[in-house]
Amino acid sequence: MQRFNFPVVEPDPALEELRAELQAFLKEELEAGNYRREPECWMSSADPEFSQKMGKRGWIGLTWSSQYGGHDKSALERYIVTEETLHAGAPVGAHWIADRQHAPMLLEHGTEEQKLDILPRIAAGECYFAIGLSEPGAGSDLANVKTKAEKVDGGWKINGQKIWSSGAHICHYMVALLRTSPADGRNRHVGLSQIMVDLNLPGVTIKPIVDLSGDAHFNEVYFEDVIVPDDCLLGDEGGGWKQVTGELAMERSGPERFLSSYVTLETALWQLSGKMGSDSKARLGKLIANLRTLKGMSWGIANLLNQGVSPETEAALVKDLGNRLENDLTQQVRAMLTDLPAEEWSPEMRRILNIGVLRSPPNTLRGGTTEVMRGITARQLGLR
Amino acid sequence: MINTEGMVAETATKIFTDLCPREVPHAAEAGEYPLALWDALQENGLTLAWTSEDTGGFGAEYDEVFGAIWASAQAASPIPFAETLIANWMLDQAGLAPADGSASFALSGHTPSADIPFGMHADKIVLFDEAHQEISLFDNREAVRSPEEALSPDGMTQFIFSGHVAEQTAKTNLSRRAIEALVLTVRAVQMAASMEAALDLSIGYVSEREQFGRPLSKFQAIQHQLSVAASETAAATMAATQAASALIKHKDDPEKAWHEAAIAKVQIGHSVEAVTVPFHQVHGAMGYTQEYDLHHYTRRLWAWRDALGNEHHWSKLLGEELAATAPDQIWKGVTTGDWTGGERTAS
């Protein structure tokens, strides 16, 4: 028996056909000047118009039933779409999170009415969701959330604050992890629930946080006596912790955990065509070996998830390795580009590389920091 | 894939479990070669697993043979099992009968000598002579041999191929890249298996060893070191599995598995330092002793990463190939493992 199991899954011709369609569309849009390629595009480049185009092509909501506006395809089709949009560095940030995690959450826990109302809009690229986990006092220590939802007649009254909510300023909903009853002594995992909040409700205030590059993609979100109806409780009252950690485990191994900066490498490869020295070639060889290996791991896990198996340890490992690789890639490209006099770099190369450097710190933070990932792995190894 | 559960792999695993407990690699270092272990493998036909049926082998499925190699590496078995499999595979590919007894191999260009693992123990040496496109079988016992200062307990030997008459020789269509694909894949499987075994040893050790009144495993600094080592071990397992799968897919034209094998070589070679450093660090001085088992794995990892050229050499080789490949073909390779695209730009 091997400790780590990653099935090797051969490419499927139907999936490769889908890939070719994506590539053609993305190339056409790029050449028409409808977007600029950027690293970390799934998080930091949002363009509702682009999301709607993706929706029209049927590339959002692939995994759910056509009854709710989806396309009855598997998570593997969705994987190809996400992989190619990352490759292109396309502005997919508006719909990414709703498509990845909130739609599946609604499918599992939402009312029929919510599913019929919201899911088709997500699939059309028109309705976006924000993640409501972090608070000023709850980062890696997520169980420390203090934002409260009190039971009131016919619903819940919410007071408190969420922070680092990416895209909240353009999102329609947030799914927030809230305290619905007190902790049981030292057990803080009880009494937490997931509640969907319409961000247009009275009492919700969204304030942008400007990041070090001058962008304002994340936000503070304040709740002051915000009333949401009963059916906005997703899943079990008090079951929020289990639901959240289960979802996080599913999201750690996708292509956005190791391919976010690939666009930087590819741009450099075109720039350096025929001009690479032997040091750069060695760096390229190593990078591609790392990327191919990570792809194998991530794709193997995607196939297991698609069969209903959730390999939690392997997923945490992929995130730790993948996030480090994304940042390493940017640094290796900086070194490789010394084969070309700086005045010969294209403006596009300079722009993409600089964005890549500026956007590197959050890679090892979001979705669970490196330290949290290593803690999870240590527990799985039996060390905690 | 690496099938550790098929019949061939299970037979091998049982033999290694029964006949290669931890005392065996220790005894081998003191000069006691484990003949009983070798005989059991040979009697069960395992050394002929990659030899076709018409020359006396049983042409086992590749995935199961990789499973058997996995088991041999996890047992730190001090015998040329993988080397014999490779040597017999080379002979078989050239239409020659398998070696009588154990064998090792060398890949030679124009030079008459080569570094040979297990050169002091193997009965036969199979040489791929690239310049003449020949595969030859030599009797090792008649050769001029000189053991080298070796990293691995299995040893490295200089074999002087000068005036020796081969027992068998045949022309071959096999390319150097095809042989490299097989050898690198076998080494990748051995290395991933050794990393896993050393990870298990490390987890066991830190769970028992107490300092400051608690097991080392309870210190976050220790937990994180082993988590990183576990990530690299998992990646090594993936890289080896991917290379093995490519070879299985292209077994009639192994050269096509070269990229995935080279990728495994580069990935795993670079991760040796990332795992052996924490493995030794968490073991403290104990891991540095001959008495303890850790070095059976770490010394072999240090030797195998050098075999056929180290990870830096292979990063360059692979990089040179990629630098002459169009970026969209590189992306295709990364995403699908298909490196056959021919579109090239100037290097």
Same domain, A221 and A309: no
CA–CA dist A148, A145 (Å, integer): 8
Contact A284 B224 (CB under 8 A): no
- Token pair listed for B190: 């051995």
Report the share of chain A in percent with pLDDT over 70.
100
Whose CA is closest to B200, among A123, A382, A161, A350? Answer: A382
* Structure confidence at residue A332 (pLDDT): 98
B60 Cβ partners below 8 Å, 6+ apart? B8, B49, B50
Minimum distance, in Å, between the CA of residue A375 and any CA atom of chain B: 7
Chain centroid to Cα B193, Å, comes to 10
- Closest residue in A to B5 (Cα) is A1
Q: Dump pLDDT digits (tens) for A18-69.
A: 999 999 999 999 999 999 999 999 999 999 999 999 999 999 999 999 999 9
CA–CA dist B213, B228 (Å, integer): 25
Same domain, A152 and A121: no
Minimum distance, in Å, between the CA of residue A16 and any CA atom of chain B: 9
Q: What is the CATH number of domain B101-174?
A: 2.40.110.10
Number of inter-chain CB pairs under 8 A, A vs B: 180
B contact test, residue of A263, A284, A320, A376 with most B CBs within 10 A: A284
Strands (DSSP E) contained in chain A are 129-132, 148-152, 155-163, 173-179, 192-198, 204-209, 218-229, 233-234
ipTM here: 0.96
Q: Calculate mean pLDDT across residues A342-351.
A: 95
Same domain, A265 and A171: no
Chain centroid to Cα B200, Å, comes to 20
**Is pLDDT at A200 greater than 80 in this prediction?**
yes
User: CATH number, domain at A19?
Assistant: 1.10.540.10
Q: Is A50 a member of any domain? A: yes
* Structure confidence at residue B55 (pLDDT): 83
Exposure of A68 in the CB half-sphere (CA atoms within 13 A) = 25
Q: Is A246 a member of any domain? A: no
* Structure confidence at residue B109 (pLDDT): 56
- Token pair listed for B276: 């052996």
Same domain, A257 and A376: yes
CA–CA dist A125, A55 (Å, integer): 5
Cα–Cα separations (whole angstroms), residue A169 to A41, A94, B116, B244: 17, 10, 65, 49
Length of chain A: 384
Contact A286 B233 (CB under 8 A): no
* Structure confidence at residue B120 (pLDDT): 81
Q: State the CB neighbour count (10 A cutoff) for residue B95.
A: 14
Same domain, A123 and A135: no
Identity of the amino acid at B140: N
- Closest residue in A to B9 (Cα) is A1
Minimum distance, in Å, between the CA of residue A314 and any CA atom of chain B: 8
- Token pair listed for B132: 């003449």
Q: Are A204 and A158 in contact (CB under 8 A)?
A: no
User: Who among A11, A269, A286 is closest to B330 (CB)?
Assistant: A269
Contact A288 B333 (CB under 8 A): yes
**Residue A218, phi-psi category: left (phi > 0), alpha (psi -120 to 50), beta (remainder):** beta
Place of tokens 């190939």: B321
Domain residue spans of chain B: 1-79, 101-174, 176-336
* Structure confidence at residue A245 (pLDDT): 87
Report chain A residues whose CB lies below 8 A from the CB of B267. 289-290, 292-293
Contact B233 A293 (CB under 8 A): no
**Is pLDDT at A105 greater than 70 in this prediction?**
yes
Q: Dump pLDDT digits (tens) for B220-276.
A: 999 999 999 999 999 999 999 999 999 999 999 999 999 999 999 999 999 999 999
DSSP conformational letter for A32? T
CA–CA dist A291, A289 (Å, integer): 6
Helix (H, G, I), strand (E, B) or coil at A359: coil
Minimum distance, in Å, between the CA of residue B307 and any CA atom of chain A: 17
Report chain B residues whose CB lies below 8 A from the CB of A378. 223-224, 226-227
Same domain, A138 and A222: yes
Place of tokens 């009880």: A190
User: CATH number, domain at A270?
Assistant: 1.20.140.10
Higher-pLDDT residue of A217, A35: A35
Q: Is A6 a member of any domain? A: no
Minimum distance, in Å, between the CA of residue B98 and any CA atom of chain A: 30
User: Who among B235, B263, B322 is closest to A321 (CB)?
Assistant: B235
User: CATH number, domain at A166?
Assistant: 2.40.110.10
Q: State the CB neighbour count (10 A cutoff) for residue B347.
A: 13
Report the share of chain B in percent with pLDDT over 90.
78
User: Who among B199, B316, B337 is closest to A285 (CB)?
Assistant: B316
Which pLDDT band, with edges at 50, 70 and 90, does A309 fall under?
confident
Can you state the angle between helices A262-271 and A312-336, rounded to 10 degrees? 30
Contact B266 A273 (CB under 8 A): no
Exposure of A182 in the CB half-sphere (CA atoms within 13 A) = 3
DSSP conformational letter for A221? E
CA–CA dist B325, B341 (Å, integer): 8
Contact B241 A296 (CB under 8 A): yes
Average pLDDT, chain A: 95
Q: Dump pLDDT digits (tens) for B23-63.
A: 999 999 898 999 999 999 999 999 999 999 888 888 888 99
* Structure confidence at residue A32 (pLDDT): 98
Length of chain B: 347
A2 Cβ partners below 8 Å, 6+ apart? B2, B4, B70, B196, B237
CA–CA dist B45, B34 (Å, integer): 17
Task: Give kind and range of the element (H or E) at residue A58.
Answer: none
* Structure confidence at residue A356 (pLDDT): 96
Contact B2 A2 (CB under 8 A): yes
Contact B335 A295 (CB under 8 A): yes
Contact A371 B316 (CB under 8 A): no
How deeply is B54 buried, as exposed, middle or buried, from its count of CB atoms within 10 A (0-12, 13-18, 19+)?
exposed
Q: What is the CATH number of domain B176-336?
A: 1.20.140.10
Minimum distance, in Å, between the CA of residue B159 and any CA atom of chain A: 31
Report chain B residues whose CB lies below 8 A from the CB of A286. 266, 270, 311, 315, 319
Q: Following DSSP, what letter does each residue of A152-194 receive, concatenated?
A: ETTEEEEEEEEE--TTTTT-SEEEEEEESS--BTTBTTTTEEE
Contact B347 A377 (CB under 8 A): no
Minimum distance, in Å, between the CA of residue A149 and any CA atom of chain B: 35
Same domain, A186 and A262: no
SS (H, E, C) chain B: CCCCCCHHHHHHHHHHHHHCCCHHHHHHHCCCCCHHHHHHHHHCCHHHCCCCHHHCCCCCCHHHHHHHHHHHHHCCCCCCHHHHHHHHHHHHHCCCCCCCCCEEEEEECCCCEEEEECCCCCCEEEEEECCCCEEEEEEHHHCEEEECCCCCCCCEEEEECCCCCCCEEEECCCCHHHHHHHHHHHHHHHHHHHHHHHHHHHHHHHHHCEECCEEHHHCHHHHHHHHHHHHHHHHHHHHHHHHHHHHHHCCCCHHHHHHHHHHHHHHHHHHHHHHHHHHHHHHHHHHHCCCCCHHHHHHHHHHHCCCCCCHHHHHHHHHHHHHCECHHHHHHHHHHCCCCCCCECCC
Chain centroid to Cα B249, Å, comes to 19
Helix (H, G, I), strand (E, B) or coil at A378: helix
Q: Are B106 and B180 in contact (CB under 8 A)?
A: no
Contact A284 B319 (CB under 8 A): yes
Q: Dump pLDDT digits (tens) for A86-98.
A: 999 999 999 999 9
Same topology, domains B101-174 and B176-336? Answer is no
Report chain A residues whose CB lies below 8 A from the CB of B237. 2-4, 6
Same domain, A263 and A222: no
- Closest residue in B to A295 (Cα) is B335
Q: Are A160 and A223 in contact (CB under 8 A)?
A: yes
CA–CA dist A21, A27 (Å, integer): 10
- Closest residue in A to B194 (Cα) is A2
Domain residues for A275? 252-380
Same domain, A31 and A79: yes
CA–CA dist B44, B72 (Å, integer): 15
Q: Is A245 a member of any domain? A: no
Chain centroid to Cα A260, Å, comes to 10
Same domain, A265 and A196: no
Minimum distance, in Å, between the CA of residue B314 and any CA atom of chain A: 8
In CATH, B1-79 is 1.10.540.10: yes
How many structural domains compose chain A?
A: 3
Contact A283 B334 (CB under 8 A): no
Contact A282 B331 (CB under 8 A): no
Residues of chain B with pLDDT under 70: 109-114, 147-148, 161-162, 342-347
